[in-house]
Structure 1
Amino acid sequence: MKRVVLAKLGLDGHDVGVRLIGKLLADAGFEVVYLGKRVATATIVQVAVQEDADAVGLSCLSGGLGHFATLTVEGLRRAGSDVPVLAGGIDEPAEIDRMMTAGVHRHFGPGASMTEIVTAFEEATATRCPSEP
């Protein structure tokens, strides 16, 4: 079973969307580890490595997504993990560009469909779990 770690970053307390994504991913056959709100990037990295995650999903609507997502990717790489990181939320275009350049696999902004997000997680984990349906 594919395992995904989901977390809210920064000071953002709006977690309805990420919890909905977690439910949809679980319905699609993923094991979901939801870390909650205001999670430090070091914690996300530690849990992703410990849980042998197949993907990490980050959410932030209060700004700072690019900064925190970049820190998460960098932390994972330092830990020897190439797990794909998918991010959803709002930030300045330059910050979105920065996180994508740093190695974030996909970014979803306002208006992204739930189907599109689940499909992106399926695609991101397909090469990590080739025997999974």
Structure 2
Amino acid sequence: MSKTLNRPIRILVAKVGLDGHDRGAKVIATSLRDAGMEVIYTGLRQTPEMVVNTALQEDVDAIGVSILSGAHMTVFPKIVEFMKQKKLTNVLLTGGGIIPESDMEKLKEIGVGELFAPGTTMVTIVDYIRDWANENRNF
């Protein structure tokens, strides 16, 4: 059963680790903002714990991690672990970047949402986040 949120969707866009390429994350953040979402951008060189703490403080509906460094099989599981510790069970963890399809499947198995490869349209990403929030958040 779909619900409508009584406020804009809040999403945290994060860059974790030593990955210094943030152009894509900034484009995503701007596009999500243009779609009516409230966006909090962490900036570069965040740790998984910092991302989860910020998500908790900002009361976000979703966390979007942009990763190009190849550390996705370390970063996403650590974020999932910290989310469980902080009881952020109703927050979507999604993201994108250079992630092989086989790794995307493994990450989904541990609770990560849809992961988007370069070239994915913004409409696809916005619709996914909006649909997830409408189905899973109740504010």
TM-score by length of 1: 0.90
Asked if 1:117 corresponds to 2:132, the answer is: no
RMSD: 1.6
- Runs of 4 or more, structure 1, over 6 Å off, are none
State the Cα distance separating 1:20 from its structure 2 match: 0.8
Structure-1 separation of matches of 2:73 and 2:131: 22
Amino acid paired to 2:57? Q
5 Å-filtered alignment, 1:84-99, equals: 84-99=92-107
* Secondary structure at the counterpart of residue 105 of structure 2: helix
State the Cα distance separating 1:111 from its structure 2 match: 1.9
Structure-2 separation of matches of 1:49 and 1:130: 17
Structure-2 separation of matches of 1:25 and 1:41: 22
Structure 1 unmatched ranges of 5 or more: none
5 Å-filtered alignment, 1:21-32, equals: 21-32=28-39
State the Cα distance separating 1:94 from its structure 2 match: 4.2
Give aligned-pair identity as a percent: 35
Structure-2 separation of matches of 1:71 and 1:118: 25
State the Cα distance separating 1:101 from its structure 2 match: 1.0
State the Cα distance separating 1:124 from its structure 2 match: 1.9
Structure 2 unmatched ranges of 5 or more: 1-7
Matching residue of 2:75: 68
Which whole-Å deviations, capped at 9, do the CAs of 1:93-129 have from their partners, x for residues lacking one? 4432321111011100122112111111111211244
- 1:67–1:99 Cα contact (<8 Å) kept: no
Structure-1 separation of matches of 2:31 and 2:118: 17
Alignment coverage as a number of residue pairs: 131
- 1:22–1:34 Cα contact (<8 Å) kept: yes
Matching residue of 1:16: 23
Structure with more relative contact order (C-alpha pairs < 8 Å, separation 6 or more): 2
TM-score by length of 2: 0.86
* Secondary structure at the counterpart of residue 14 of structure 2: strand
Asked if 1:55 corresponds to 2:62, the answer is: yes
Amino acid paired to 1:106? E
Structure-1 separation of matches of 2:136 and 2:38: 14
- 1:69–1:87 Cα contact (<8 Å) kept: no
Q: Which moved more, 1:89-98 or 1:107-116?
A: 89-98
